[in-house]
Amino acid sequence: MVASSVLGFPRIGANREVKKAVEAYWAGKLSADELTKAAADVKKTSWTSIKAQGVDLVPSGDFSLYDHVLDHSAAFNVIPKRYLGHNLSPLDVYFAMGRGRQADGVDVPASEMKKWFDSNYHFVVPEFAEDTDFKLVFNKAVEEFNEAKAAGVVTRPVVLGPISFLYLGKAAKGASPNFKPISLLPKLLPIYKQLLADLKSAGAEWVQIDEPVLVLDAALNYQSQFASTYAELAPVSPKIMLTSYYGRLDSNLSFVAKLPVAGLHIDLDRAPGQLDEVIAAIKPTNIVLSLGVVSGRNIWKTDISAAIKLGQKAVDALGADRVVIATSSSLLHTPVTLAAENKLTAEQKDWFSFALEKAKEVAVIAAVLSGSQDSKVAEALEANKTSIAKRREFERSSDDAVRKRVAAITPDMWVRKSPFAVRREIQQKSLNLPKFATTTIGSFPQTKEIRTARAKLTKGEITEAQYEDFIKKEIESVVRFQEKIGLDLLVHGEPERNDMVQYFGERLNGFVFTQNGWVQSYGSRYVRPPIVVSDVSRPGPITTQWSSYAQSVTDRPMKGMLTGPVTILNWSFPRADVSREVQCQQLSLALRDEVIDLEKAGIKAVQVDEPALREGLPLRKADWEEYLRWSVSSFKLATAGVTDALQTHSHFCYSDFDDIFPSIQALDADVISIEASKSDLKLLNTFKQYGYSNQIGPGVYDIHSPRVPSEQEIKDRIAAMLETLPDNLVVINPDCGLKTRGWKETEASLANLVNAARWARQTY
């Protein structure tokens, strides 16, 4: 028999019950017991509904009130001292680590968050030091296994593996300079042994141990640790299904195939090409092979016939009892169920599978491979064939005009007419900005009034015209504010945007939107990524009316504001039938037209934000070059269609681009702004080293906190910057948009910023 399995499930609940309960708990409107109860209901529904789809191996322990990495830290007593001694309950310590706590005399910031591999999910980074005192404070895996059992579902518990857990962590502040978290492995293993032995006594037959680090180049450095760890764990543990996901095992396969585990899971959604070599490597062993054929990362219906072919190959080589059909990764990155969507057309709905529908897909594939004669399985298979055929038909009905335009792209289209030095002089004449010009990153506070007006428009309580009036007033007041404070290059403030990606997606052909397609970004924060379903084009100007209006009410230059092609793509669900490169090119062409239109409308500077450029980097270094090639050229394609007089800006919410610097340079934006307030100014050396010659605005203060930077602080920062950067290249700006800030601190901070810039003009 070929078994079916799901590696993990969304935690939010079909009606966002968990998000609501967690936030109500934070607001003091729900007790801890009520929160536990709300979570228990959602868990129970997940387990029983996954099982009801026919899945054999249902996950437990993957649920989380905030983040699964944080769950492991809390359960293993990996709690930084700053969260202790405040008389908080364990639950409140847990949330304090996740989101900080500022109440009743306690004031601790949140732990650092990082992107979970190449996804948009963020995990809370564990902090380790030599004296980390691991303890199994509670055994979440056993508790949830028992909880599921009581609900009538025998599960396969999920645990994050010890090597990935240590790898994802960082050295705590007090740790010695040479300390490496992985050195704690011998101290951590007893905890895992206890956890796994308890699971075994509780009756778990299998345990899923996630080691996603196995798809990274770095895992090769840990091969001896993998060998010793799993040799120690296997004898006391339930049967171990060791899972890799989000990529290929590659050369790591050489040691992975020798590990004493009962099963190995591979991601065939991201890396279908690895099947043959994995089969060959494990054939002589008894290892059960779990095939991740149903994508945990996208929302497209699985081509079941194609998945069956892959599955059959494994069955032929290993026998049915050694094959499991699975989701490629946890379904954490997909919404709960399509059932809740009633605005998508029937045709569109038929293209997608969300988590629950994917659970059914793994069950059907496994049933077919097991030779099931069940008429329901045959029906599901037929229905899938029909859906896939219809989708293929839709894909063939491409937008010829768009395809032709993409085919006609030539490299000269992504190069500006003249080099930067020439452009700079021309732009200087048209913009007439002072030395150390001041500007902002685009958004101004998104106040409650703005959100209310938008909600009213959606509900039809105000007319389109009334909304437009409202937005115009907002823009005008933001312009007046910037004039009053004394900023040089103004922005319109982005009041009309719900989200920097969704706003553009909604105004382009080729996207659809869900009502309930929530995907966890971090903690209780969920996003609804737009879905690219067909060729992308721009029906008409998107931002020109607002930018022109903003320009019309001031004599100072107004900067247009767009989200870049790479960021729009990376923060959407891409199509699966066309390469990301082509989708990005289509977006670039649409944005190129927008930039040209802005210039025609009299706008003299346009910023194209690419905060997602870096996070889109592939997990394997060998794949970087290819990604950077098309992403950089996409940005250039979007921004190079204008005359030399247009000043292009770009913004990045990060500054860790030491390793991709030549690509940042290759963008050839006239001005870039980067986050620099949090990091030390070391990165500016990289700019110097490479002889970066375009203008640059390293953020002079951190906008992620309400704290107002003093004028002196900003002056010090500018002075420090100027030790490395030539004074004629420096622009003065905060490190990101101000949409999450309040007006009070925005006003005070920007006033200090402008004064500091004035001081710099006199001093340098």
DSSP state of 302: P
694 binds, among ligand GLN, Zn ion, none (CB under 5 to 8 A by kind): none
Closest residue by Cα to residue 747 from 474, 478, 495: 478
Choosing from 297, 651, 717, 741, the residue that interacts with ligand GLN (CB under 6 A) is 651
Structure tokens of 745?
A: 């601190």
Under the binding rule (CB under 6 A), the answer on residue 737 touching ligand GLN is: yes
Q: Is 393 annotated as ligand-binding?
A: no
Cα–Cα distance for residue pair 423/181, rounded to 1 Å: 49
Closer to ligand GLN by CB, 62 or 609: give it: 609
DSSP state of 270: T
Among all chains, which residue has been given the structure tokens 């050369």? 251
* Residue 531 beta carbon to ligand GLN: minimum distance, rounded to whole angstroms: 21
Beta carbons of 120 and 63 less than 8 angstroms apart: no
Cα–Cα distance for residue pair 243/224, rounded to 1 Å: 18
Q: Is 653 annotated as ligand-binding?
A: yes
Beta carbons of 290 and 241 less than 8 angstroms apart: yes
Q: Is 441 annotated as ligand-binding?
A: yes
* Residue 622 beta carbon to Zn ion: minimum distance, rounded to whole angstroms: 29
Closer to ligand GLN by CB, 50 or 500: give it: 500
Structure tokens of 84?
A: 């202790």
Cα–Cα distance for residue pair 567/590, rounded to 1 Å: 14
Q: Is 120 annotated as ligand-binding?
A: yes
Cα–Cα separations (whole angstroms), residue 731 to 438, 639, 753, 757: 6, 20, 11, 9
* Residue 562 beta carbon to ligand GLN: minimum distance, rounded to whole angstroms: 9
φ/ψ (deg, to 5) at 603: -85, 135
* Residue 507 beta carbon to ligand GLN: minimum distance, rounded to whole angstroms: 16
442 binds, among Zn ion, ligand GLN, none (CB under 5 to 8 A by kind): ligand GLN
Q: Is 584 annotated as ligand-binding?
A: no
126 binds, among ligand GLN, Zn ion, none (CB under 5 to 8 A by kind): none
* Residue 372 beta carbon to ligand GLN: minimum distance, rounded to whole angstroms: 49
Closer to ligand GLN by CB, 443 or 543: give it: 443
DSSP state of 112: P
The residue count for binding ligand GLN (CB under 6 A) is 12
Closer to ligand GLN by CB, 162 or 442: give it: 442
Structure tokens of 314?
A: 């494994």
561 binds, among Zn ion, ligand GLN, none (CB under 5 to 8 A by kind): ligand GLN
CA angle 485, 489, 494 (to 5 degrees): 85
Closest residue by Cα to residue 234 from 184, 202, 201, 192: 192
Closer to ligand GLN by CB, 391 or 651: give it: 651
Closest residue by Cα to residue 426 from 642, 595, 634, 597: 642
CB atoms near residue 381 (< 10 Å): 18
Residue 465 CB contacts under 8 Å (≥ 6 apart), including other chains: none
* Residue 610 beta carbon to ligand GLN: minimum distance, rounded to whole angstroms: 8
Tell me the residue type at 365.
Answer: I
Choosing from 653, 664, 674, 753, the residue that interacts with Zn ion (CB under 5 A) is 653
590 binds, among ligand GLN, Zn ion, none (CB under 5 to 8 A by kind): none
DSSP state of 610: -
Beta carbons of 226 and 216 less than 8 angstroms apart: no
Choosing from 50, 736, 753, 757, the residue that interacts with Zn ion (CB under 5 A) is 736
Binding pattern for the stretch 592-631 against ligand GLN, x by CB under 6 A and - elsewhere: -----------------x-x--------------------
Under the binding rule (CB under 6 A), the answer on residue 441 touching ligand GLN is: yes
Binding pattern for the stretch 606-635 against Zn ion, x by CB under 5 A and - elsewhere: -----x------------------------
Choosing from 700, 739, 750, 757, the residue that interacts with ligand GLN (CB under 6 A) is 739
Q: Is 609 annotated as ligand-binding?
A: yes
Closer to Zn ion by CB, 578 or 653: give it: 653
Binding segment for ligand GLN (CB under 6 A), chosen from 188-196, 455-463, 594-602, 734-742, is 734-742
User: Can you name the residues that pair with 209 across neighbouring β-strands?
Assistant: 159, 242
443 binds, among Zn ion, ligand GLN, none (CB under 5 to 8 A by kind): ligand GLN
Active site residues: 704
Under the binding rule (CB under 6 A), the answer on residue 443 touching ligand GLN is: yes
424 binds, among ligand GLN, Zn ion, none (CB under 5 to 8 A by kind): none
Q: How far is CA 76 from the centre of its chain?
A: 26
* Residue 600 beta carbon to Zn ion: minimum distance, rounded to whole angstroms: 28
Under the binding rule (CB under 6 A), the answer on residue 561 touching ligand GLN is: yes
Q: Where are the beta strands (DSSP E) in 24-160?
A: 58-60, 101-103, 106-108, 113-115, 122-124, 127-128, 155-160
Closest residue by Cα to residue 718 from 709, 705, 731: 731
Binding segment for Zn ion (CB under 5 A), chosen from 218-226, 509-517, 647-655, 708-716, is 647-655
Under the binding rule (CB under 6 A), the answer on residue 442 touching ligand GLN is: yes
Tell me the residue type at 649.
Answer: H
Cα–Cα separations (whole angstroms), residue 162 to 111, 128, 187, 421: 20, 13, 11, 53
Closer to ligand GLN by CB, 194 or 545: give it: 545
Beta carbons of 756 and 700 less than 8 angstroms apart: yes
Closer to ligand GLN by CB, 51 or 651: give it: 651
Binding pattern for the stretch 471-510 against ligand GLN, x by CB under 6 A and - elsewhere: -----------------------------x----------
DSSP state of 433: P
Report long-range pairs for 709-712 (Cβ below 8 Å, ≥24 apart): 709/749, 709/752, 709/753, 710/752, 711/752, 711/755, 711/756, 711/759
Q: Is 239 annotated as ligand-binding?
A: no
SS3 344: coil
Under the binding rule (CB under 6 A), the answer on residue 113 touching ligand GLN is: no
Closer to ligand GLN by CB, 609 or 668: give it: 609
The residues binding ligand GLN (CB under 6 A) are 441-443, 500, 561, 609, 611, 651, 653, 736-737, 739
Residues that bind Zn ion (CB under 5 A): 611, 653, 736
Q: Which residues are annotated as a binding site for L-methionine?
A: 441-443, 494, 609
